[in-house]
Amino acid sequence: MFPSEAVPAHATFVLNEERARGVPVVQLFAAGRAVGTVLLWISFFIALMMLVTNSAWAPTLLKREGIGIKDASLAMAMFNLGSVIATSFAGWLITRAGAAIILPVAMLGSAASVALIGYAAPSVGMVILLQGLFGALMGGGSSGLIALAAIYYPTAIRSTGVGWAMGMGRVGSFVGPLAVGSLVALGLSTAGIFVAIAVPALLAAATTAVVGRVKPA
């Protein structure tokens, strides 16, 4: 990690953090971590909800607008490619600029890009571009959330904190597709549904802006 540092052969490394006492889950809300934990859970819920909902419903919604399976598959491939590329840089960006700046920007950009997809159809080129942009922004944002959660919690409860936050994200990943299914049943337009998918990212922008500045006691 630090190639320029000379470490003696018999050096001993000691962790000076106190061992967490009691039930690990309860510790997520102790020592001033309650607000940050709740905000992280909301952020994870929204991020994974939007990612999975887009993957599950975009091909079907785009088909309603005249975009065939081949072109829809290309758009979804670009969505995943954008996510992979952005994930590689998420940690670096947060280190350089801070989570309180990078994550809200990613969430706001995600909201704008996914909201425009329904209006861009049936233009295949624009849909592919917007899907790639959405994948990069939300994919990178969700990876950044994992890094933020790992930094936020002390070593003794880090795995518990990240695990529970990811669990909240998994809840969002099945709530989102069910909600969109209800909107389709109600006859909402494709553009309206993509806007509905985008709206939660506005809340995530607010929660990530705050949690990036919250310091546990």
Domain count, the chain: 1
Question: CA-based diameter of the chain, in Å?
Answer: 70
Judge whether 163 lies within some domain.
yes
| Residues 146 and 166 sit within 8 Å (Cβ to Cβ) | yes
The per-residue pLDDT for range 8-65, each reduced to its tens digit, is 888 887 766 666 565 689 999 998 999 999 999 999 999 999 999 999 999 999 999 9
Helix (H, G, I), strand (E, B) or coil at 137: helix
The per-residue pLDDT for range 65-81, each reduced to its tens digit, is 999 999 999 999 999 99
Judge whether 76 lies within some domain.
yes
Judge whether 147 lies within some domain.
yes
Q: What is the pLDDT of residue 41?
A: 98
Mean pLDDT of the chain: 92
Judge whether 149 lies within some domain.
yes
> What's the burial of 66, exposed, middle or buried (CB within 10 Å: 0-12/13-18/19+)?
exposed
Cα gap 137→145, rounded to integer Å? 12
Q: What is the pLDDT of residue 124?
A: 97
Judge whether 26 lies within some domain.
no
Look up the domain containing 121 and give its range: 31-211
Place of tokens 């905000």: 39
Cα gap 33→16, rounded to integer Å? 19
Judge whether 90 lies within some domain.
yes
179: domain CATH number is 1.20.1250.20
Judge whether 198 lies within some domain.
yes
Cα gap 34→189, rounded to integer Å? 39
Judge whether 200 lies within some domain.
yes
